[in-house]
Structure 1
Amino acid sequence: MSEGFGKGCHLHLIDGSAFIFRAYHALPPLTRKSDGLPVGAVAGFCNMLWKYVSDEHGSAAPTHAAVIFDHSSKTFRNEIYDLYKANRPEPPEDLRPQFPLTRDATRAFNIACIEIEGYEADDIIATLSCQAREAGGSATIISSDKDLMQLVGDGVDMLDPIKGKLIGPEEVREKFGVGPDRVVDVQALAGDSVDNVPGAPGIGIKTAAQLINDYGDLDTLLARAAEIKQPKRRQTLIDHADQIRISKRLVELDCKTPLDFTLQSLEVRDPDAETLLGFLTEMEFRTLTTRVADRLGAEAPAVTAAPASEAPAAPDQPQFDSASYQTVRDIETLDQWIAAIRETGHVAIDTETTGLDDMRADPVGICLATAPGTACYIPFGHVEGEAGDGLFATAPSLAPDQLTQDQVLSALKPVLEDPSILKIGQNLKYDWKILARQGIRMAPLADTMLMSYALNAGTHNHGMDELAERYLGHKCIPIKELIGSGKSQITFAQVPIDKATPYAAEDADVTLRLWQHFAPMMPVEKVSTVYETLERPMVPVLADMEMAGIRVDGGHLGRMSNAFAQKMAQLEDEIHELAGEKFNVGSPKQLGEILFGKLGMEGGKQGKTGAYSTSADVLEDLAVSHDLPARVLDWRQISKLKSTYTDALQGHVNPDTGRVHTSYSIAGAQTGRLASTEPNLQNIPVRSEEGRRIREAFVATEGYRLVSLDYSQIELRILAHVADIPALKQAFRDGIDIHAMTASQMFNVPVEGMDPMIRRQAKAINFGVIYGISGFGLSRNLRIPRAEAQDFINTYFERFPEIRAYMDKTVEDAKRDGFVTTLFGRRINTPGINQSGPAAGGARRAAINAPIQGAAADIIRRAMIRMPAAIRDLPARMLLQVHDELVFEVEESAVDDLIAAARQVMEGAAEPAIKLSVPLIVDAGAGMNWAEAH
C-alpha cells in the first residue's frame, strides 16, 4: 500500500532494537533520581534519535521515516525451526522496563513507531523497503545489521549510524564475498550461532562465498554437491542439505509482512515541543531537555531531580523507618498497591511462612516494596488463641482483621505473573516455590542474592542480613526477637500482626534497596552476562526440579541399614584383631592411642589436649603401609553411608508426595557448582559397591523409567582445550580411551593388553592434576610410596608440558589479579593466593582447578537452563543434578526420545558462547532405579 508515496520520496527505516542495545551497552547504567527507575538505555536512545532528527541529511533527507522494533513474541521462524534464537539470553533485568519507554520516546519525537506481533523488525524493514522501491521511491535502512544487507540494491541502501558510512552493493560484496542478491545463500551455508541458525557444519562465510560464486546459487550448489572434489566439504553438503535449506528459510527476510498502514502515513513530522519536552522532563534528562528546548525555540521545563547523566549509580535513599510500613488489611488498599506496582514496573517481594521447608511450609503473609521506604505487609494466615491443656485444649483460630489467602493470592497472581513487571527477591527460589505451590509462577525475576554472588563470590556470604549491613549500613530486625528459639520457639503465624509488619516489610524494603545498589554495578564489573545467563535463569529450573522430587524405596533403605550394621560389626572384629584388643572404633582418642601409643606408628601429632589426630588425612597416609588404618577408613565410610543415607533418607520422605525433595544452593561454591542439601544427594559414592546399592533405592514411578545423562570426562576435556594439549585433544576427537593413552605415553607401553593397574595409575593422575595434586596426595589416592607417586607426576609433566605451562600461568594471573575466570566469564576470587605458608598451597591448587571445574559447572548450568524447552513436549521431567550428571523421570515409551533431546542439549551447551576444540560426549542409561540408569 503506497498511496501518496512515489518518485522523489525517500523513506528512512531506523532499526530501533539495534539503537536500544547500542545505547544500553555503550553507556554506564543510569537511574532516574526520583524513583531509581533504570533509564540509561532510554537516555542513549533519545540522544541517538535527537542526533538523527537534528542532522540535515543533505540529498538523502527523508520525506518519510519510521522506527521499527522487534515484538517480544515468537515469530513464524520458530514454527520452521523450534530452536531458532533458542540460545539467546534473556535481556538484562534493568533493561526490560526500558523497552516500553523507548517506544514512548519514539512517539514523543513524533516519529512513526512500528512493531508487529509474529514478525521480526527485519521483516517489517524488508517489506517497507520493497514497497518503497516498487512505488518508485527509495529507502535507507539505518542499521549495521548484516542480515539487512540482502535488501541492498536499486533504490535501497543502508547507513551505519555509528560510522556514518553508507553501505551499498560494493560494501556488501566486500563483507560477504557476493552481491546482495546472494547474501541469503551465503548465510544459509555459514549459519549464525547468535540466532542459532545451523547452516552447514564447518563452512564459514569465506568458503560459502567461494562455493556460491563457483556454482551460481544455493539450489545449484546443492544439486551438484556430488561434483565437489574435496571429500569432507562434499559430504557435509550432501548430509546436511535439508538443514541448509531450512537455514535459508530462517535467514531470508519476508517482504510480504502484512501491514495495517500505508507508506504515506510515515511522512516526516516535526516534533511537538510540548510533548517531547514533557517526556524528556519526566525522564529527568536535564541536559537533553535544555538542548531540545533551545533548538525548538521553547522554554525548558524545570527538571527538579538531577539528570540521569549526573545521577549516582544508586539513588539517595530515605532512612529506614519501620513506622512508615503499612499493614494491608482490606482489598481496596491491596488494589492501591497493585496499581503502584503496575506503575513502577517492578516490585520487591518476600513471603512469610510457617517454616523453612519450602515444600511443607504454609504462607502466612506477603511483603511488597515499590520504592525505598515504601513497603507493606499483607497478612492472611496469622492465628491467635490457644487455651487449655490436654482434652480441653482449643486449636488456634485465624486472627481478625486480615484478608483471606484466596483474596490476596487471587489479586496478586496477575501482577506476579505479568511478564512486563520485574519481581525482585532475596533467595527468590524459596518464595518462588512457596507461591508455585499455590498456583503462581512468578516471572521475570531478579535475585539480589545471586547478584551479590555474581559480583563477590568467595569474598563474603550473600545472606540478606549481611548484605544489608555491608552495603546499606542497616542492621535488620533479628527473627529471634519475634519467634524466640529452642523449645519455646513459635511459628511466624503466631506472631501478632502489629509486630510482624515491621519485620516483614523491612525484608522487602531491604531487598529493593539492594537491587538498586547492585543493578548498576553489574555491567561496570562485567558480570551481567554471567548473572543473566548462568545465575538468574536457574531459579525456576531448580525450583521445578526440587518440587518434582524423586521416589525412594524405604524398604530397600531399611535392608541396607541392617546390612551396613553387619558390615560395620565385621570390620570392627577385623580392626580389634589387628589392634590386639577391643576398643571403640568410633572414638578418635582411643584409636589414636592404639595407632601411635600401642603400635608406635609414625606421624602421630598430639593436639593441645594430648590426644593424637586421627583425621582422614592422617589415616590415608598410614593406610599406604598398614592394614589397620585402612580398615578404619572402610569402617568410617560404611558408618557415614549408614547415618547420612540409609538411615537419614527415610526421614526425608515428604508425607504429602511420598518423594524426597533435595534443595540446591545456587550461590554456594565459588566455582558455580551447585550444592545439594536436606538431603545431600551429590556425595553418594558412585564407584563403590555400597554407593551403587544406595542409588538402587531411588526408583521410578510405575510406568516410568529413570534416565541418567552424564558428561564423559568433561573436566579433562576442558583442560585439553584451555591448556591447548594437542595429544589429549586428538585423543578426545578420535574417541580413544584417554587414561590408556596417557598411560601409554607416560610408561611407553602399548594400549592393547595394558595392565589395568597401569591404567588406574594414569587415571588417578589425569583426574588429580586438575586439582593440582601433589606426590603426597597421589600417594594417598593410590596407596603407594610418596617417592613413587612423585615420579609418576614428574613423568606426566614431561609428557604433557602444556599442563605445567597452564598451571604456572593460572597461578601467575591469580596472584596478579586476585581472581581467575572461566571460559564463560565467571569470576572466581582467589583469596590467600599471595600468602605464604601452608595456606598458599591450598589457594594455589584452588586457583588451578577453578577455571576448569567452574567451566564444567557453567556448561551443565547452560544445559539445565535450556532443558525445559527442549523436553517440553515429552512426558518427562528433570529431577536431579549431580555434578556432571542429570537424572530424569520419563514414561517408558519416551525413553529414547528423552535421551536424544537431552543429549543434544548437553553436548551443545557450550555453544554459541564457546566453541570447544574437543567434543563434549554424554553417556546415557535408563532403568527402574538410579543405579541401573547410571
Structure 2
Amino acid sequence: MTDDAAETTDRPLTQDGPPIRLWMIDASAYIFRAYHALPPLTRKSDGLPVGAVQGYCNMLWKLLRDLKGEDGPTHLVAIFDHSEKTFRNDLYDGYKAHRPPPPEDLVPQFALVRQATAAFGVHCVELPGYEADDLIATYACKARDAGGKAVIVSSDKDLMQLIGPSVVMYDPMKDKVLAEDAVMEKFGVTPDKMVDLQALIGDSVDNVPGAPGIGPKTAAQLLDEYGDLDTLLARAGEIKQPKRRETLIGFADQIRLSRELVRLTCDAPAPEPMEDFAVRDPDPETLSAFLDEMEFRSLARRVGDGKAPERDGPAMQRAPKPLTAPVMTPRYAPRAPVEPGDHAFDHDGYACIQTLEELDAWIDKARAAGIVGFDTETDSLSATHAGLCGVSLAIGPNQACYIPLTHEHAPVEGSGGLDFGGEADTREPLTQIDKPTALARLKTLLEDPAVLKVGQNIKYDLAVMARRGIRVHPIDDTLLISYVLEGGLHGHGMDELARLHLGHEPIAFKTVAGTGKSQKSFKHVELKPATCYAAEDADVTLRLWRILKPRLVEEKLTTVYETLERAMPAVLADMELAGIRVDPERLRRLSSEFGLRMAELEEKAHGLAGRPFNLGSPKQIGDILFGEMGLAGGKKTATGQWGTDASVLEELALTHDLPATLLEWRQLSKLKGTYTDALVAAADPETDRVHTSYQLAAATTGRLASSDPNLQNIPIRTEVGRQIRQAFIARPGHVLISADYSQIELRLLAHIGDIPELKRAFKAGLDIHAATASEMFGVPVEGMPAETRRRAKAINFGIVYGISAFGLANQLGIDQGEAGAYIKTYFERFPGIRTYMDRTKAEVREAGFVSTLFGRRIHIPAIRSKSNAERAFGERAAINAPIQGAAADIIRRAMMRMPSALCDAGLQTRMLLQVHDELVFEAPEAEVEAALPLIRRVMETAAEPAVALTVPLEVEAKAAANWDDAH
C-alpha cells in the first residue's frame, strides 16, 4: 500500500443526503458456503475448477438484485481474509492450528472470486495480518460513529458481538435479519456480552481453548449472575459447584487469553476509505467478459446488462426489509441453479485402475478431497455371502474410477466353463491388482477418520467390506438423507434420485450383465462396461450428496439425520452379518407336518365343493364360491374375476365351511413357503444361521422392513407361528434374549395427546385395557368380564390407527351403531385424544406432513388428493404417523446406543434382530443376569435426553433357549 493510499484511510466520512447505509459481505464465508452447497464444477474448455465461483456469483447477484430500492445500501463492500496468519497467532500459536487446509480444487478459485466481485461492481478489501471479521468490525464502527447504519451479510456467531442499535446482521440464505433479540434468543446474552460468552465456551473450530466443560447455557447463566467476565473470575471462589469453581480459578489465564482471541478490533487500519464503497451498477462489458470467460452462460442470460431491477419492479419478489427489524420468520432459500450441461456424465472419462501406482494416486486424491463417493460391486445380492468383484470411488463429477479385483473372462459358450471345447483358454488374463494388496491399500482410505465416505444404501457396502476386515468409517448415506428430507413423497433408490435431482438415467444392470437366462455374473462383465457402470454409481452418489446434504441444514433436519439415521447402517450391517441360528431339522419336520395338513385340507375342500379344484387359484375359488355355490357378497374385480382375498373369505367363513377351510390352507401354505421351507434354504450350511436384510427407508414412519428372509411377520399369537419361533435357537452355551417394549404406542399416545387418565394408569402400572374399560363403562377393574376388557383393548389400539365405527363393528362382531357409541364414549372420557386428532389433521392439511417427537417429517401426499376417500385415508395416516413414528425413532435410538453399552460393560452379548418393538439378542449363559437389566435400561431411556416422556417406557425382557420361550 502506497503512502498516498495510507493517507486516504484517515479522511473523514462525508455523505450528502440520507445517512450512510453500509452493507458488508463476509466474502470468505460466502466462498465456502458456495463450495459446499453445490456439486464440483469444472470449466469445459480446460477443466479449471469453478464450482465455488459459480455459486458465489449466483449468491452475489441475488443479493444485488434484492437490495435495490430506497432502503437498500448506499455503500457495499465484500471483505476477504488475506491469509491464515494474523496478529492472533502472535498471541497464541495454537490459534486455528487444527483447521485443515482448504480443498485443493478450491484454492485456485479464491482469486477468481475476487475477480467476480469486481466484475459485479462491488468493491473488495482485505488486509494482511487481520481477519475479515476485524475489517468488518472496523468499518461497522466507522459507519455507526458517523451516524449511519451497518449491515453485516453473514450468519457467523463471531460477528454477533458487533450487533447494536445501528448494526445488524443479515443471513441471505435464510432471509433473516439478526438484531439484538436474536442473539439473546440464541445464546441467552446480549451482544455486548458475546465476547465474554465466547471466551468461556471457546471454539473448537478455531482452537480457542475457553473454559473446559463450560457450555453456552452455563456461560450465559454465569454472566447473567455476575454481570461480566472480569467480575466472574474475580469472584470465582464464591461459586458453589466445586468443578465449575475449580475450572474458573484454574483456567482464568486461559479464559482471558481466549477473550483476546475472540474479541474483534474496531481500529484495524482501513485499507480504503468508505467513500469508495458507494453502490454502483457493474460495467456491462466487464461483467459480460468475465461470465463469458468462466463459461457461465445461463447466469449471463439472467444477469443481462448487470443492472438489477428496482424492488418494486416486476422481477422483484420480496418486500423491503428494515435494517433494524427483529428476527424475521425464516423462509426456504433455494440453492443457486446449476448451469445446464456443465455436469453431463462422461462415461469415457472414468478410469479403470489396474496398477498399484494408479490406485495409490487415486487414494491420495481422495484423501486430499476429504470426501469420496464409494460403492462396491459383487456377484450376489446377499451382502453376507457375496463375492467382491471390485470397488468404485468418486471425488467429483466425472472424476470416478473402478478398481476391478476378481473379474474373469466369461465362459466360452457351450464349454460349461470347464474345458473350452477341449482346448486351452488362449485369452489374455485380465490385468487386475492383487486383491489382498488392493484391499490393504483401500483399508487405509476407507478407515481414515479424516475422509468422509459417501454411499447410496451404504449398509450393504459396509457389510461387504466388514467381511474383508475393513470397517468403513465415517459415512454418509444419500438414501437416508433423501429419506429424512422427503420421506413419503417418493422412493429413495439411486436411479429414482438420479432422475429426480440430476435429470440423469443411470446405466441399467441388464445393459451390462444381460437378462433372464443369458444374464451373467458381474465378475464376468468386461472391464470397460464394468467401469462405466460401477464408476457411474459412485459419481451419481457423490453428486446427489452435494445436492441433498446442504438441505439438511437449510430445512433444519440435520439433528434428525444425525440422531436417527446416520449410525443405523453400521448397526444393521453388524446384525445382518451375525445372523440368527435356526434348527433345520425342526423346520423340515414342520414343513412335512404343514404339507400333510394341507393335503388333508385340500381333500376336505374338494369334498365341500363337490369336485376337485386348485386351492391356489383365485379364479377357480371365485367360480366355485359365487358361480357354483351362489354364496352372497361376491364382487368382481376390474379384470372380471371374483374377488377372493382374505377379507372376503373371512366374512364368508362365519357361515360356511369351505371359505374357512381355504383360509387355513392359505395360512399353512404361506408359512410353509415363506418360513419353514425358505428358512432351511436360506440358512448357511456351515453355521445354520440365517441372515436377513433390513431396509431403512421402506416405511414413511421410520419402521424397518426385513427381507430375504422376512423375519418380522412371523405370527405371534397362533400355534403354528409359535412353532416356527421355536426353531430359532441360540448356539451352544448361549441363550436368546427377547426385549419388547410394552404397549409403547399407547404410552406415546398418552404423552403426545396429553391424556391424564392414561398417564395415571401407566404410571400406576395398571392393566391399561382394564383401566380404559373401567373409565369408559364404569365397571370396576376387579372382576371385570373378559369381553368388556377385550372391547376396550380393540378401541385402544384402533384409535391409534384412526379406526371407524364400521371397522370397530367388524372387529368386535357388533352392529355399527353400537360401535359408534363406544367411540363416542371413548372421546368423551378421553377428550385429549380428540384434541390431538383434530390438531394433527389441521397440521397435515396445512403443511402436507406431520412430525414425530424427534423431528422426523412424515409426508402425507394423500392429504392433497382430489378424492375425498384418499384425503380421509391421509388424515387417518397422519393421526397414526407421529405415534408409530415416535416408537420407531425410540427403538432406533436404543439400537444405536446398544452395541457400545454392551461393549462398555464388557459383555459379549450381541444384538441379532429387530422386530418392530422387539429386539432379540444372543448372550452367553453366564452374562444373562448382567445383560437383562442393561438392555432394559438402554431401551427404557432411549428417548432421553431429546424428549422427556411424561409416561414411563417399560420393557419386558426374558432369556431362553429359543425365541418363542424367550418371548
Q: 1:500 deviation in Å?
A: 1.4
Aligned to 2:957: 924
> Paired residue for 1:467, among 471, 479, 497?
497
Relative to 1, partners in 2 of residues 1:926 and 1:552: Cα closer, same or farther, differing over 3 Å? same
Q: 1:853 aligns with which of 884, 889, 906?
A: 884
CA contact (8 A) 1:384 1:398 kept: no
Partner of 1:900: 933
Is the CA contact (8 Å cut-off) linking 1:63 and 1:267 kept in structure 2? no
The yes-or-no answer on 1:457 pairing with 2:480 is: no
**TM superposition shift of 1:168:** 7.1
Q: What corresponds to 1:336 in structure 2? A: 361
**CA separation of 1:441 and 1:314: change in aligned 2, threshold 3 A:** farther
SS at match of 2:748: helix
1:482 to 512, 530, 534: 512
Partner of 1:645: 675
Contact 2:201/2:216, CA 8 A, preserved across alignment: no
Corresponding residue for 1:884?
A: 917
The answer to whether the 8 A contact 1:143-1:159 is kept is no
Please give the TM-score of this superposition, normalised by the length of structure 2.
Answer: 0.69
- Aligned: 1:345 with 2:370: yes
Superposed CA deviations along residues 164-204 of structure 1, whole A, max 9, x for unmatched, are 9993753489x99x98556563xxxxxxxxxxxxxxxxxxx
1:511-910 aligned at under 5 Å gives the runs 511-572=541-602, 583-623=613-653, 628-835=658-865, 836-872=867-903, 873-910=906-943
SS at match of 1:253: helix
Q: Secondary structure at the match of 2:862?
A: coil
Distance change in 2, residues 1:392/1:328 (3 Å): closer
Task: Give the letter for the 1:845 counterpart.
Answer: R
* Residue 375, structure 1, aligned to residue 400, structure 2: yes
**Structure 2 unpaired stretches of 5+:** 1-28, 42-48, 61-77, 111-125, 133-192, 203-210, 278-289, 300-332
Q: Label 1:848 to 1:140 Cα distance change in 2 as closer, same or farther (>3 A).
A: closer
Residue in 2 that maps onto 1:234: none
**Does the 8 Å contact 1:382/1:398 carry over to 2?**
no
Determine which of 134, 143, 151 is the counterpart of 2:197.
143
* 1:798, distance to aligned residue in structure 2 (A): 2.3
Contact preservation (8 Å) 1:35, 1:371: no
Q: Distance in 2 between matches of 1:262 and 1:848?
A: 51
Question: The residue matched to 1:909 in structure 2 has which SS?
Answer: coil
Q: Which residue number in structure 2 is paired with residue 285 of structure 1? A: none
Distance 1:885-1:337 versus aligned 2 partners, 3 A rule: same
In structure 2, distance between residues paired with 1:565 and 1:160 = 67
Q: Distance in 2 between matches of 1:520 and 1:70?
A: 26
Q: Does 1:503 align with 2:528?
A: no
- Larger mean Cα displacement after TM superposition, 876-885 or 396-405: 396-405
Distance 1:550 1:916, change over 3 A: same
Q: How far off its partner does 1:351 sit?
A: 1.0
How far did residue 456 of structure 1 move?
1.2
In the TM superposition, residue 144 of structure 1 has moved relative to its aligned partner by: 5.4
Q: Structure 1: which amino acid aligns with 2:897?
A: R
Pairing 1:115-134 to 2, within 5 Å after superposition: none
Moved more, 512-521 or 314-323: 314-323
Work out the CA distance in 1 between the residues paired with 2:691 and 2:215: 56
Distance 1:252 1:450, change over 3 A: farther
C-alpha displacement of 1:336: 1.0
Q: Is residue 349–residue 424 contact of structure 1 (8 Å, CA) maintained in 2? A: yes
Structure 1 contact 314–517 (Cα < 8 Å) conserved: no
Q: Look up the match of 1:218.
A: none
**Are the aligned partners of 1:451 and 1:518 in contact in 2 as well (CA < 8 Å)?**
yes
Shift of 1:750: 1.1
What is the letter of the counterpart of residue 364 of structure 2?
A: A
AA in 2 matched with 1:143 = L
Aligned equivalents of 2:840, 2:255: Cα separation in 1: 61
- AA aligned to 2:226 is E
- 1:719 and 1:70 map into 2 onto residues whose CA distance is 50
Q: Specify the code of the residue in structure 2 equivalent to 1:408.
A: A
SS of match in other structure, 1:461: coil
Cα distance in 2 between the residues matched to 1:607 and 1:501: 47
SS in 1 for 2:391: strand
- Secondary structure at the aligned position of 1:383 is classed as coil
Residues 770-779 or 381-390, more deviating: 381-390
Please give the secondary structure, in 1, of the residue aligned with 2:861: coil
CA offsets, 1:590-629, max 9 Å, x none? 4334443455443221235543211122233344555554
| Aligned residue number for residue 315 of structure 2 | none
Mapped to 2, the partners of 1:600 and 1:584 lie a distance apart of: 19
Deviates more, 1:697-706 or 1:353-362: 353-362
Give the whole-Å Cα distance in 1 for the aligned partners of 2:639 and 2:89: 88
> Is the CA contact (8 Å cut-off) linking 1:358 and 1:433 kept in structure 2?
yes
1:143: how far off?
2.4
- Counterpart Cα distance in 2 of 1:862 and 1:47: 44
Report the counterpart of residue 253 of structure 1 in structure 2: 247
Pair 165,849 (structure 1): closer, same or farther in 2 beyond 3 Å = closer
Q: How does 1:12-51 map to 2 (within 5 A)?
A: 30=37, 34=49
Deviating more after overlay: 882-891 vs 837-846:
837-846
The offset of 1:748, in angstroms, is 1.8
Taking the aligned partners of 2:846 and 2:630, their CA distance within structure 1 comes to 46
TM-score where L is the length of structure 1: 0.71
The answer (yes or no) to whether the contact 2:390–2:406 under 8 Å persists in 1 is yes
Whole-angstrom CA distance in 2 between matches of 1:583 and 1:250: 82
SS where residue 713 of structure 2 aligns? coil
My pick for the range that moved more, 355-364 or 714-723, is 355-364
Give the Å deviation of 1:763.
1.1
1:879-932 deviation digits (Å, cap 9, x = unpaired): 000000000001001012111111111111111111111011111011001111
Would the aligned equivalents of 1:770 and 1:849 in 2 still touch at CA under 8 Å?
yes
Tell me the CA shift for residue 556 of structure 1. 1.0
| Partner SS for 1:556 | helix
CA distance in 2, matches of 1:703, 1:517: 50
Change beyond 3 A, Cα 1:48–1:709? farther
Q: 1:810 touches 1:847 (CA, 8 Å); kept in 2?
A: yes
1:356 matched to 2:356? The reply is: no
The partner residue of 2:348 within 311, 316, 323 is: 323
Question: Cα distance, 1:581 vs. partner?
Answer: 6.5
Alpha-carbon distance change, 876 to 257 in structure 1, aligned in 2, over 3 angstroms = farther
Q: Structure 2: how far apart are the matches of 1:794 and 1:312?
A: 49
Q: CA separation of 1:249/1:638 partners in 2, compared to 1, >3 Å: closer, same or farther?
A: farther
1:448 matches 2:478? yes
Structure 2 CA distance for aligned equivalents of residues 708 and 803 of structure 1 = 32
Q: Quick one: distance in 2 between partners of 1:648 and 1:781?
A: 32
* Secondary structure of 1:418 counterpart: coil
Aligned residues: 748
Q: Assess, with a 3 A threshold, how the Cα gap between structure 1 residues 529 and 165 changes in structure 2: closer, same or farther.
A: closer
Deviation per CA, 1:423-468, whole angstroms, max 9, x where unpaired? 0111111111111111100111011111111111111111111111
Gaps in structure 1 of 5+ consecutive residues: 1-22, 56-60, 73-93, 112-138, 149-154, 186-247, 278-287, 292-301
Asked if the contact 1:624–1:785 (Cα under 8 Å) also holds between the matched residues in 2, the reply is: no
Structure 1 residue 469: Cα displacement: 1.4
Amino acid corresponding to residue 197 of structure 2 in structure 1: S
Out of 226, 245, 255, the position equivalent to 1:170 is 226
Distance 1:170 1:256, change over 3 A: closer
Please give the alpha-carbon distance, in whole angstroms, between the structure 2 residues aligned to 1:680 and 1:648. 10
CA contact (8 A) 2:379 2:522 kept: yes
Q: Residues 808-853 of structure 1: CA distance to partner in whole angstroms, max 9, x if unpaired?
A: 2211211111111111111111111143243233222211111110
Residues 66 and 266 in structure 1, CA contact (< 8 A), matched pair in contact too: no
Match of 1:190 in 2: none
**Equivalent residue, structure 2, for 1:210:** none
